[in-house]
Every structure is written in C-alpha cells, then in structure tokens.
Amino acid sequence: MTAQVIDGKAFAGRVREKVAAQVASLKAEHNITPGLAVVLVGEDPASQVYVRSKGKQTVEAGMNSYEYKLEADTSESDLLAMIDKLNADDNVHGILVQLPLPKHLNEDLVINRIAPSKDVDGFHISNVGLLGTGQKSMVPCTPLGCLLMLRDHHGSLSGMDAVVIGRSNIVGKPMAQLLLNDSCTVTIAHSRTKNLADVVRRADIVVAAVGRPEMVPGDWIKEGATVIDVGINRIETDEGKTKLVGDVDYDSCAAVAGAITPVPGGVGPMTIACLLANTVTACCRIHGLAEDNEFTA
C-alpha cells in the first residue's frame, strides 16, 4: 500500500481563505476588525521566524497584527503589565506569548495572566480545563490542525484506536483530549512507555509529537493506519546540507500507512492557519456573534 499524502499546505490555504472571508464579513457587517497581538521576548532565531510568519499571515487575512518585541532581560512584572494592557485593549482579540520564554520568566504565570477569552494558543489553565471537560474552549493550534486534517480525511473518528506519542502540554496532551472528545480510544505514549512498537502497531491513528528525527519506523505502523507527523527536526544530510524531517521515517511509514502527513507541508502550515481561525473565533465570542464552527473542536 502507498499512503495517500495529506496535504496540510493546501488545507491550510483553504482555512486561510475562509478566515479571510469571515474577517471581511465581520468588517462589513459589524465594523469589527479582529486583532492578534504577538509578544516575543528575546531573540531566539526560530521564534523570530515564527513571529514574522504569524504577523504576515494575520495581515494577509485582513486582520490587525500587533507585534511586541521585548528585550531578553525584560522583567516578569513588565511582561505581566504588558499582558494586562493587551487584555484591556478592545482592538486586541487574541494574545499569543511566543514560547519558550527566557529562563528567568515563569511561563505558567505569564500564560495564565492572559484573559482566557483572548488565549488563542489555548494554553491558559481555564481553557485546558474546559477542553478536558468537553466544554467550549480555545483549543491549542497544532493539535487543532491535526484534528481538522483527521476529520477531513476520515469523517467520523468514533471508535478508532489512536496512539499519541508525546505528552507535552502544548501538543501531546491536548491532542489526546481532542481525540477522546471525538470518541477515539486513546493511548498516550511517552519516554517511559514499554514496548512502544507494539503500542503503536495497535493504532488506526498515530500522532507522533516527540522531537526525535525519524524515530517511528514503518514496521511499527499497522497497514492502512493514518499517520500524523507533528515533529519538526533539522538534520544534516550526507552532503553536509540541512533538511527538515519529522518524527516518523516517512518513506517506510508511507509504504504501509493509509494516509500520512509530510514534513514539511503537513502539520506545520495548519498551525498558523488555526491560530488565525482561533483569533476570529475569539473575536466572535467576545462580541457575542455567531461563530463558524468548522474550525473549532
């Protein structure tokens, strides 16, 4: 079997088009322009690239983008004061603090200072609790993107066996919760899991969010399973160049899977598209307007 490639890049393009249409109608019908504020502390090169890309796509979708670049030695109280200001700003509907933060800043404290209604990353403890109890919440963008691709490919996920490899708060845990809310039978695997190969072999859906290049080989994959590769790893090639690879060994997995996301071009593009969708969702909720549920969990 050769797997169908799930084209996250094309899917993300469709999400962005719909988001842009929603933004246009919010402007035309309600004179509201959704606004996303992104706060970057320090000069981590990867974070700078992500922040630039988020700002660009926000503007392309017709929304207002507010970028705040703070010095690496910014104090916690100054950062919290900035978040308070953004919480109170009616032009801002989504707030994202780019992670990781420099070591002297307490990430939990900072994230939990964001108003839950504007927490477009879905990391605030209130949103985590709402998701965990199956209530309406802001859903973390990367797992939301994975879920949308899975639903698009399968329709209903009900009754499927899903294995999520990785238990981080930003990917693994919310991913498992979303799959459970869609009535999958979910196993969460991590670095202490015994017989990982056998655990993965049971799965109809495998989501790999580990951060280890090409860790999952094809002989762990059940024939016909759907493989969602969240990993983004930069490795050196034999020619001394670098390239991006995922957490699964693409060629051997694609030979047995029913469907698979490539890296790059799979989960990655969906993450920012979902951030834009979350910002529109937050804007609609804040203003008490009907929201388009197509891009929510």
Q: Would you tell me which residues interact with ligand NDP (CB under 6 A)? A: 142, 165-168, 170-172, 189-193, 196, 209-212, 230-233, 267-268, 271
Least separation in angstroms between CB 100 and ligand NDP: 9
Q: Has 7 been annotated as catalytic?
A: no
Of the pair 192, 288, the CB lying nearest ligand NDP is at 192
One-letter-per-residue 3-state SS of the chain = CCCEECCHHHHHHHHHHHHHHHHHHHHHHHCCCCEEEEEEECCCHHHHHHHHHHHHHHHHCCCEEEEEEECCCCCHHHHHHHHHHHHHCCCCCEEEECCCCCCCCCHHHHHCCCCHHHECCCCCHHHHHHHHCCCCCCCCHHHHHHHHHHHHHHCCCCCCEEEEECCCCCCHHHHHHHHHHCCCEEEEECCCCCCHHHHHHCCCEEEECCCCCCCECHHHCCCCCEEEECCCEEEECCCCCEEEECCECHHHHHCCCCEECCCCCCHHHHHHHHHHHHHHHHHHHHCCCCCCHHHCC
Catalytic entry in 121, 182, 204, 249:
121
User: Does 247 qualify as catalytic in the annotation?
Assistant: no
Q: State the residue number with the nearest CB to ligand NDP.
A: 168
Q: In the bound complex, what is the minimum distance in angstroms from residue 263's beta carbon to ligand NDP?
A: 8
Min dist CB 99 to ligand NDP, Å, is: 9
CB closer to ligand NDP, 228 vs 284? 228
Clarify whether 121 is annotated catalytic. Answer: yes
In the complex, minimum distance from the CB of residue 88 to ligand NDP, in angstroms, rounded to a whole number = 29
From the candidates 18, 98, 119, 229, give the one annotated as an active-site residue: 98
Catalytic residues: 54, 98, 121
